[in-house]
Structure 1
Amino acid sequence: MSKKWLSYVGLICIIVMISSLVVGCGGKTATNSTDIKIGANIELTGSVANYGQQALSGLKLAVKEVNAAGGVHGKQVTLVVADNKSEPSEATNATTKLITQDKVVAIVGPAVSSNFLAAIQVAQDNKIPALTPTGTNDKITVENGKVRPYSFRSCFTDPFQGTVMATFAANSLKAKTAAIYIDSSSDYSKGLAEVFEKVFTQNGGKIVAKEAYLQKDSDFRAALTKLKAANAETIFIPGYYEEVGKIAKQAREMGINVPLLGTDGWTDSKLVEIAGVDALNNSYYSNHFSAQDTDPNVAKFVEAYKKEYGKEPNVFAALGYDAGLLMIDAIKRAGSADPQKIRDALEQTKNFQASTGILSLDANHNPVKTAFILERKNGVETFREKINP
């Protein structure tokens, strides 16, 4: 063999080797890898870690079940978890990491509205669909009248919750007057209060007092004194369990015995630990799920969750589970792990069977689904009634 021919052969070998390396690198991209990577931007530490941890437990169960059934398009689903530490800035950083470093094709989370709102622009700039399991703020999916194209949710919205609780106060409790006590540092709390006041007054009721507190406050007696003096028939407290627990405890100690009303931010076992069993009697709040629901799909999920974790799921676990199944269902219907196709499939979701009921996503990327009213009786979360949209 001539030297010239050997040179040609050597050149061809080098080209083949380089091509192999390029293909090898390409094999690790989001759409061509041997698995399908979904990011979880979740509050694992910080002030609302209980919400995030529970949502993640449900999400992990959904992924486990899908993988055990053969995965999606012959591939296993890999969940890449990032802790946003319950902080908006960290939520933004977590989204950036999941997209640029981990190469996820979609993201579930963050759990709370403020963190999701901080992070969604990064997902949108990179054209990666993001789905919050529990963020209820209206601005998550619609801003200034325009739908955010890559933003979705699997829970109902704050306006729906506010409407539900105002209707419950007027129709079920027969209240004619109400007071409102909000967390003025929280868009979640302020938005709910606004809708509650609007609907309650439309139903013929009157708001006789409004007071505010800040997150991390611990002494609420001054404001509660004013609320007690207003002599309202019920008090609406749209907030999170840490402050709500202290408010309920101090309110009852001061002799405020009227019904206390809340929303899904109340949903955590720590609420009882903070407030005490007796303080939460005669309290009611809206929720997305009840383990006491007789729906067979609920029973199936509750049984699977108890088998996996040895305890009954709460609403955040149920919504995390639903978010995982909803995202995976979209990937299946998309026919690939291409983020744009996943986004399109999410937008077309109709009559999806979730653990919290059948849901369809409307034109604003919000689910049309049932709401539950729960009551605390001697510390136990009890199903009160169901309200359809």
Structure 2
Amino acid sequence: MYPMPTPSQPQTAPSARTQARKAPRKKKRHPFVRILTRTALTGFVLAGGFAIWFYLTPWGTQYRNIMVDTLITTQHRHWGKYLVGEAELKKRVDAYWKRFDEYAETPIVQEPVIPAAADVQPEQVKKELLEVEEVEGKGAYGYYKGYILHVRDPKKLRIVVPGKVDKGEKVSAMVKRTGALAGVNGGGFADPEWKGNGFQPAGIVMSGGKIFYLDADKTTKLHVVGIDADGKMIAGKYSAEELLKMNMSEAVTFSPRFIVNGEGQIKNAADGWGVAPRTAMAQTADGTIMFAIIDGRQTHSIGVTLYEIQQLFLERGAIIAANLDGGSSTVLVKDNQIINKPSSEYGERYLPTAWLAFDDPAITIKNIWEGIDISTIDPSKW
């Protein structure tokens, strides 16, 4: 006989407690690590979504173009290549300069009628020469606040320059030094890396009918904003020779001229050269000069496009208008007080030119660049 197989002993299942002891325990992550991980994932998703919106949607593209146009007006223009590429940035810059040149070619047929001095009573001149108007509103890209300075007699305005060699001067200091009633920043200047000393202008500077500064030959046409000996505002592209023949009295270089014959040249906000603090100058049919001084890059005022400045001027009867230096240079001084809020964290900038209004404009303004070889000026040296 074959031996009977021995039945195996029944196997008992391990208890749950035994299994728990044998199973490897998962380490719990520290709460800070969990929070950090979730935050990183959320940030990654949001960044991806923003990138898609920013670069691949019409709204994002429009916003990028606004940012690029705004950068073009600053010393950080090269940053625009990170938004639209270097080729597109150059294309946009070239397009603006071409447009500015086209604006300057429109013939002027409407000119102001300047009241003769004999037609204005002295006490009336003193009372009404200057008026500061507060303006605010909602532009295409946000809220803005600023001022419009009305100067009733254009012949009361002079271009004033710094009192010391090798350094620009704050507008408030120019006003105090000369006894002016009010002052507004003027033309462009060399400003390396936004740290320039404000001493070297760009283009041409004229005061009292004399050329104080010129960085081109007398036949080269430059963008000019100024007032002739009769009080008529002149803006456009002119050579120094032409300005002398036209009896130009006060002038600086900047652009563009954007109102001609009472018509705006800028057709919409998208062509308004970005959003920034702005200073601009205009004249009405009765000869009144208007300066717009609009704050920007701040919580109370984002700034404006040139199109919005154009609308402010047209609403007040401007027949001609042109842009002046803006950004951190934008400042309005009246009665020795800074009226607006300059966008620079350091306050006013040191500038080479300013428009100043006087009770008596027959003052002597020294040509600070006389006898200086302008090729030796170092605009970055303090």
* TM superposition score normalised by structure 2: 0.24
Whose RCO is larger (CA < 8 A, sep 6+)?
Answer: 2
Compute the TM-score of the two structures, normalised by the length of structure 1: 0.23
| Structure label with greater radius of gyration | 2
Structure whose residues are more often helix by fraction: 1
